């Protein structure tokens, strides 16, 4: 048994290592590309061992260091607030729908799911958020439109509640005259830590990577830009400066901007914080929730 187990573990680790390498090597390639001289990048392509290094891309980013740091702060704030709100709204709706004998259950499920299929496009959404709720040029414009609650997470969590929180325990709690809200907070949520972490991760990543809200709703308040907005602006400016439309008339361009290198460098600095934070989420993915113990 022991030997078989060891062998199995070895094979499992081998497979996972291969998959992990497939994910990490391109990332390393990206880091190397961000450090490669632009001309070398164009003529010799991407390489793990570039023939000429250059820090131009990071230097260009450094020229906006103050703005980038402020934008990081903004992103962290928006992500924290937005994700917290999202997780609670998701939990409450999902828990409601997980009740199998809930009146109007099918109708409400349909109501939620329908939002995944149909949307009215960016113009009506913009009109509602700006003309009725006046979120334009405020932090609210980064938090509320689109990202605050989504059907996907609700349905994911509902499924988790129905398949992972045994009805027996809930019934037992009812008999102990625990209120429905009490059951949610005392039993269902503690049993659902892995899924809460998952939803928080999904929502957090959505906020972290979002630049659409900043683009649509921060027209006159660029001071509120998030990191993705700032980085996007830099890419777009660098690209535009390279494009022939600008270059034929821009008599003032006397700096060299490494477009491809900047893209890579930006990808690196946007990804690294997530990789630092992610292990904290993983603490919630711990096995060993033994329902039998709760039943006691």
Partner 1 sequence: MKSSKNAITPEIRAKERKSFRSRLKRYAPLYLLALPSFIYLIINNYMPMVGLTLAFKKFSFAKGIFASPWNGVENFSYLFGSKWAKIMFKNTILYNLVFLVLGTVFAVTVAILLNELVNAKLKQVYQTVILIPHLFSMVIVGYIVFAFLGGTNGFVNSHILTPLGAKAINWYTKAKYWPVILTIVHLWKGFGFQSIVYYATLVGFDQSLYEAAMVDGATKWQQIKSITIPLLKPTVIILTIMSLGRMFNSDFGLFYQVPQNNGMLYTTTTTIDTYVYRALMMDNDVGRSLAAGFLQSILGFIVVMLANFTVRKVDENSALF
Partner 2 sequence: MKKRLLSVVLAGAMAVSMLGGINVMAEAGDPADWPTVSFPILPVVEVTDEEAVEQALNDYLVSIDAGVKADAVLIDFGSVSQVMTLMLSSTEEPIDVFTYNFFSNLTSVVKNEQVIPLDDMLETYPDLKDVIGEDYLPLGQLNGTQYAFPVVGSYATIWFYAMRRDVAEDIGVADRSGEKITMDELKEMLAAAKEAHPEYSYFPVGLDLVNVQDYEFLADNDWMGGIPKNATESTEIINYYETDDFENLCRQAAEFAEAGYFMNDPLNQTHDKSHYKNGVTGGTLHNAFSYESAMDDLKTTYTQDSVLFQLTDLTANCSASGSGWCVSSVSQNPDAAKKFLHLLYTDENVMRFIAQGIEGQHYVVDENGCSWYPEGKSMTDLGWSTGAAWYFPNQTLTLPFNTTNVNIYKDMIAANEEARHSQCIGFIFDSEPVYDQYVAVDSVVKEYRDALLYGQVDVDDILPMFREELVDAGIEEVIAEKQAQLDAFLGK
Residue ranges in 235-294 that form contacts with partner 1 under rule CB under 8 A: 260, 263-264, 267, 270-271, 274-275, 278-279, 282, 285-292
Nearest to 64 by CA among 214, 269, 273: 269
Choosing from 31, 55, 76, 89, the residue that interacts with partner 1 (CB under 8 A) is: 89
Of 101 and 131, CB closest to partner 2: 131
Choosing from 7, 26, 80, 256, the residue that interacts with partner 1 (CB under 8 A) is: 26
Q: Does 180 contact partner 1 by CB under 8 A? A: yes
- Which residues face 36 on adjacent strands? 53
Q: What are the distances in angstroms from CA 151 to CA 85, 197, 231, 246?
A: 14, 17, 29, 43
- Find which of partner 2, partner 1, none residue 106 binds, CB within 5 to 8 Å per kind: partner 1
Residue 211 CB, shortest distance to partner 2, in Å, is 9
Q: Are 153 and 202 in contact (CB under 8 A)?
A: yes
Nearest to 172 by CA among 185, 187, 157: 187
Q: Tell which positions 2-21 bind partner 1, by CB under 8 A.
A: 8-9, 12-13, 15-17, 19-20
As a whole number of angstroms, the distance between CA 132 and CA 130 comes to 6
Choosing from 52, 84, 110, 253, the residue that interacts with partner 1 (CB under 8 A) is: 110
Residue partners of 118: CB distance under 8 A and separation at least 6: none
As a whole number of angstroms, the distance between CA 219 and CA 92 comes to 34
Q: Does 101 contact partner 1 by CB under 8 A? A: yes
Of 9 and 119, CB closest to partner 2: 119
- Find which of partner 2, partner 1, none residue 241 binds, CB within 5 to 8 Å per kind: partner 2
Of 192 and 233, CB closest to partner 2: 233
| Both structure tokens of 43 | 């003529």
Q: Tell which positions 191-210 bind partner 1, by CB under 8 A.
A: 191-195, 197-198, 201, 205, 209
Q: Does 218 contact partner 1 by CB under 8 A? A: no
Of 81 and 151, CB closest to partner 2: 151
| Both structure tokens of 10 | 């070895």
Residues that bind partner 2 (CB under 8 A): 38-39, 42-43, 45, 63-64, 67, 122-123, 126-128, 130-132, 134, 136, 215-216, 219-220, 222, 232-233, 235-237, 239-256, 259
As a whole number of angstroms, the distance between CA 35 and CA 55 comes to 6
Residue 193 CB, shortest distance to partner 2, in Å, is 35
Q: Kindly write down the DSSP assignment for every residue of 133-190, as one continuous string.
A: S--TTSTHHHHSTTTS--HHHHHHHHHHHHHHS-HHHHHHHHHTT--HHHHIIIIIHH
Nearest to 258 by CA among 244, 238, 240, 243: 238
Residue 248 CB, shortest distance to partner 1, in Å, is 20
Site string for partner 1, 113-142 (x = CB under 8 A): x-xxxxxxx-xxx-xx----x---------
């Amino acid at each position: 048994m022991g030997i078989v187990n060891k062998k199995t573990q070895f094979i499992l680790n081998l497979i996972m290592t291969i998959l992990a390498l497939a994910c990490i090597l391109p990332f390393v390639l990206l880091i190397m590309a961000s450090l490669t001289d632009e001309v070398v990048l164009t003529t010799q392509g991407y390489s793990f061992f570039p023939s000429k290094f250059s820090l131009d891309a990071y230097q260009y980013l450094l020229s906006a260091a103050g703005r980038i740091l402020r934008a990081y702060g903004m992103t962290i704030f928006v992500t924290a607030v937005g994700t917290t709100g999202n997780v609670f709204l998701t939990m409450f709706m999902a828990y409601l729908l997980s009740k199998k004998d809930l009146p109007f259950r099918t109708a409400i499920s349909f109501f939620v799911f329908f939002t995944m299929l149909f949307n009215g496009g960016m113009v009506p959404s913009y009109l509602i958020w700006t003309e009725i709720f006046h979120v334009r040029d405020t932090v609210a414009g980064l938090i509320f439109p689109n990202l605050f609650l989504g059907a996907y997470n609700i349905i994911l969590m509902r499924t988790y509640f129905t398949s992972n929180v045994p009805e027996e325990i809930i019934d037992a709690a009812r008999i102990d005259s625990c209120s429905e809200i009490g059951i949610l907070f005392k039993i269902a949520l503690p049993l659902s830590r892995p899924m809460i972490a998952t939803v928080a991760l999904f929502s957090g990543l959505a906020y972290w990577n979002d630049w659409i809200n900043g683009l649509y709703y921060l027209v006159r308040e660029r001071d509120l830009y998030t990191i993705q907005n700032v980085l996007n602006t830099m890419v777009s400016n660098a690209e535009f400066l390279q494009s022939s439309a600008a270059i034929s008339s821009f008599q003032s361009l006397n700096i060299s901007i490494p477009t491809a290198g900047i893209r890579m460098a930006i990808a690196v600095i946007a990804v690294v914080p997530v990789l630092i934070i992610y292990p904290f989420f993983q603490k919630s993915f711990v096995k060993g929730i033994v329902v039998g113990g709760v039943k006691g």
